[in-house]
Amino acid sequence: MEDTSPNEIATSAPAEAQVEPAQTISVANSRPEIAPDGDTDQLKITMGDFEGPLDLLLYLIRQEQVNIYDIPIARITDEYLRYLNLMQELDLTVAGDFLVMAAQLIELKSRMLLPRDPLAVEEEILDPRAELVDRLLEHEKFKAAAEMLWSRATVEQAVFKRAEIETDKNNPEVTVGLFDLLRVFQEILARQKEEILLEIEREEVSMAEMIDRLRNMVRSAGEVNLKTFFERSKSRRELVVAFLSVLELVRMSEIALVQSETFGAIMARTVGAEGQEI
């Protein structure tokens, strides 16, 4: 089933959609709903945020009023793909999880079509849907558990503890968990990085230093690409100083600027034997 690529599903889905009657579609942040729209025979579809493919499947199973222990896979798969298609039409991002489930459903659908081994004993035939049903039931159990937690939290919110008293303040400490260590450590590292950056910025290069730097570079290398020289500047201010120092050395005829071709690199050279200038 892993071989079924999401693309195949995407291409098969529109075909399904064409069979559908005209629809009014509205996207709401609620649970999805398909309901007759007033007295027209159009269907009104409200798309919701599904928590995941299992959620969508459970919803479809309820919507179609089918027995979860005997899911009509072909029908549910079609419905499922229609939904994915709708999501895509609405430019909702269809998460990978939904596509994986689509692939599994299609695979299941084809397995349901295979003739059963006539030699197999009735009890030994494993329903191909069994695994999916188990997952759905498991998922629904946890949804119910989440609901239980929700109501517990609601009751708990009606219970109040005393306000802070003096002795609490004697103990202005934070409870520490394992992830607090990591979080705090990362904060420290981030702070450290920030400080280093600040230091670099504060380290301002004077005009005299910049002139020295350029002079040394040109002398030791014979020529320096100005682009490289300017790129060494760590701040806008430094860049300005670098630019001014080039002008200054040109003015003092210590260096010459050479450009061998139009739009080519501009090189700073010592003014020596050749002495060409631009």
Partner 1 sequence: MSKAAKATEIEIETEVEVELQSPADEIEGVREIGDAELKAIAEAMIFVADEPVSAKTIADVIKVDRTAIEKALGDLVLEYDARNSGLQLREIAAGWQIATRPEHHEQIRAYLKSRPSAKLSLASLETLAVIAYKQPVTVPEILEIRGVQSPSAIKTLLDKRLIVAKGRKETVGRPMMYGTSKDFLIQFGLKDLSELPSIEDFQDLAGGSES
For partner 1, the binding residues in 79-98 under the rule CB under 8 A are 93, 95-97
Minimal distance, residue 18 CB to partner 1, in Å: 28
69 is a site residue for partner 1 (CB under 8 A) = yes
Selected range binding partner 1 among 110-118, 184-192, 233-241, 259-267, rule: CB under 8 A: 184-192
8 Å CB contact between 267 and 225: yes
8 Å CB contact between 52 and 70: no
Selected range binding partner 1 among 115-123, 158-166, 211-219, 246-254, rule: CB under 8 A: 158-166
Q: What's the CA gap between 148 and 227, in Å, rounded?
A: 66
Rg of the chain, C-alpha, whole Å: 36
Residue type, 127: D
Buried b (16+ CB within 10 A) or exposed e, 109-123: beeeeeeeeeeeeee
Helical axes 207-221 vs 236-251, angle rounded to 10°: 60
Measured from the CB atom, the residue of 109 and 139 that comes closer to partner 1 is 139
Which of 28, 120, 130, 148 is the binder for partner 1 (CB under 8 A)?
Answer: 148
Q: What's the CA gap between 9 and 219, in Å, rounded?
A: 67
Which of 34, 68, 239, 257 is the binder for partner 1 (CB under 8 A)?
Answer: 68
Q: Which of residues 192-211 bind partner 1 (CB under 8 A)?
A: 192, 195
Residue 234: Cβ-neighbour burial (10 angstroms; 0-12, 13-18, 19+): middle
Minimal distance, residue 183 CB to partner 1, in Å: 8
158 is a site residue for partner 1 (CB under 8 A) = yes
Minimal distance, residue 195 CB to partner 1, in Å: 6
Minimal distance, residue 227 CB to partner 1, in Å: 36
Q: Which of residues 229-248 bind partner 1 (CB under 8 A)?
A: none
Residue 255 tokens read as 């260096």
Minimal distance, residue 92 CB to partner 1, in Å: 11
Which of 19, 121, 126, 176 is the binder for partner 1 (CB under 8 A)?
Answer: 176
